[in-house]
């Protein structure tokens, strides 16, 4: 089953503040940092028309008495882990999908706890009593159908539970518009509409070879995998098991951030690039990796007319040292930046390899630098990321101090 926490951030805040129980509430970003959007809205706020990702001002216009609360990401993570522990009392097969959604496999739990619906009801009760959060459950034979059962049916009924057996998808699922299918957004829906595909059933009934030809005609030669993915989802086919290590395979480590204003000079941009290089390398060392390839991205503020670049370069030796990554990043920025204002920047280290084996360098003091980096990591782990920083981070362009108070771009 796919278990989803209703209006998760808002539910946590309402549970922590009982006086808000019967009032519309939204968890929003910080408007002073140009991130004043709705991250989560409670059902009362949604009933008034408030939607996720809209601006705070628009939400207040729709619902003047709405209570606006800043996010507390550390608390949401704590509650999410608490809920995961409750799931594990029913099965050891718990796979996180997001902070508020998790797959669980209860195939082997029925002798202890009853049917899948019985287990879902027990989970709802225990999570509600422990955290104040209401959980919805989509149930089926595989993950993709469980996800669509939750999104399209369990979230819409009062019980918050819906079982979608494979044998019933023609009756229940295929009647829905194609944009109700997992992985189909508004843009892909428009493409399907033009191809004469209006419902999930329309897509499921197209023979796979024909669908591949249709997508190749529309998107080019590299569409066969995409076509098969859509066809399998529409037909409720998913062979992937619920596993504990789904997210353990690390292919790259990166970080990006939206800046509080336009950065127009190379000097300012490089301050943030250095900070991101420090952060990415700190995470890389913590996970026991080095990386061969450095990728850098810069984007302008006008998303209607995109500007910027995303380029990469392979190094002669793998590294997890910020100064090495920074030097490559400078080369990429010097070569590809079009001198337009920058609002979003990012750095990624990929082609990862274990830090337990690497080539010694005949000249230089690499081992000394690596020892120093690990010492700095221990200081930051104990006293916080802002406890030790580069001097440029205290300049007007620096973001490290502010970022140290956040998780995932939002205040802890």
**Catalytic site positions:** 101
Alpha-carbon gap, residue 290 to 37, rounded angstroms = 36
Nearest Cα neighbor of 108 from 124, 121, 93 is 93
Residue 240 backbone phi and psi in degrees, to 5: -75, 130
Helix ranges restricted to H, 195-254:
200-205, 208-219, 224-234
Alpha-carbon gap, residue 93 to 199, rounded angstroms = 33
Place of tokens 């070569």: 335
Question: CA-based angle 154:156:162, to the nearest 5?
Answer: 20
Cα-Cα end-to-end distance for the chain: 30
* Residue 312 DSSP symbol: E
Cβ atoms of 1 and 116 closer than 8 Å: yes
SS3 assignment, position 102: strand
């Amino acid at each position: 089953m796919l278990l989803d926490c209703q209006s998760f951030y808002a539910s946590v805040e309402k549970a922590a503040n009982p006086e808000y129980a019967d009032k519309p509430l939204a968890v929003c970003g910080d408007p002073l940092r140009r991130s004043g959007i709705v991250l989560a809205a409670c059902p009362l706020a949604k009933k008034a028309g408030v939607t996720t990702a809209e601006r705070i001002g628009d939400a207040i216009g729709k619902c003047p008495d709405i209570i606006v609360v800043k996010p507390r990401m550390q608390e949401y993570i704590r509650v999410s882990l608490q809920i995961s522990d409750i799931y594990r009392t029913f099965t050891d097969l718990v796979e996180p999908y997001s902070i508020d959604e998790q797959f669980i496999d209860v195939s082997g739990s029925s002798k202890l706890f009853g049917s899948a619906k019985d287990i879902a009801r027990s989970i709802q009760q225990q999570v509600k009593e422990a955290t104040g959060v209401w959980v919805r459950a989509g149930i089926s034979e595989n993950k993709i159908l469980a996800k669509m059962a939750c999104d399209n049916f369990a979230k819409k009924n009062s019980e918050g539970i819906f079982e979608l057996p494979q044998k019933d998808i023609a009756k229940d699922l295929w009647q829905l518009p194609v944009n109700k299918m997992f992985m189909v957004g508004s843009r892909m829906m428009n493409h399907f509409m033009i191809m004469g595909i209006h419902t999930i059933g329309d897509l499921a009934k197209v023979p796979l070879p024909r669908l591949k030809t249709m997508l190749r005609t529309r998107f080019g030669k590299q569409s066969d995998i995409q076509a098969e993915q859509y066809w399998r989802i529409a037909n409720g086919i998913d062979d992937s098991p619920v596993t504990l290590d789904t997210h353990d395979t690390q292919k790259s480590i990166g970080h990006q951030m939206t800046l509080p204003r336009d950065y127009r000079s190379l000097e300012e941009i490089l301050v943030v690039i250095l900070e991101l290089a420090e952060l990415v390398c700190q995470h890389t060392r913590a996970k026991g990796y080095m990386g061969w390839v450095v990728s850098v991205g810069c984007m302008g503020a006008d998303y209607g007319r995109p500007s910027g670049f995303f380029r990469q370069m392979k190094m002669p030796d793998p590294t997890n040292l910020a100064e090495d990554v920074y030097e490559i990043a400078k080369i990429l920025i010097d070569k590809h930046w079009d001198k337009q204002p920058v609002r979003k920047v990012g750095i990624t280290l990929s082609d990862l390899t274990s830090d337990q084996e690497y080539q010694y360098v005949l000249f230089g003091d690499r081992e000394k630098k690596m020892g120093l980096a690990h010492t700095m990591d221990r200081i930051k782990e104990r006293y916080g990321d802002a406890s030790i920083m580069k001097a440029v981070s205290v300049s007007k362009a620096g973001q490290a101090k502010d970022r140290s108070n956040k998780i995932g771009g939002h205040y802890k």
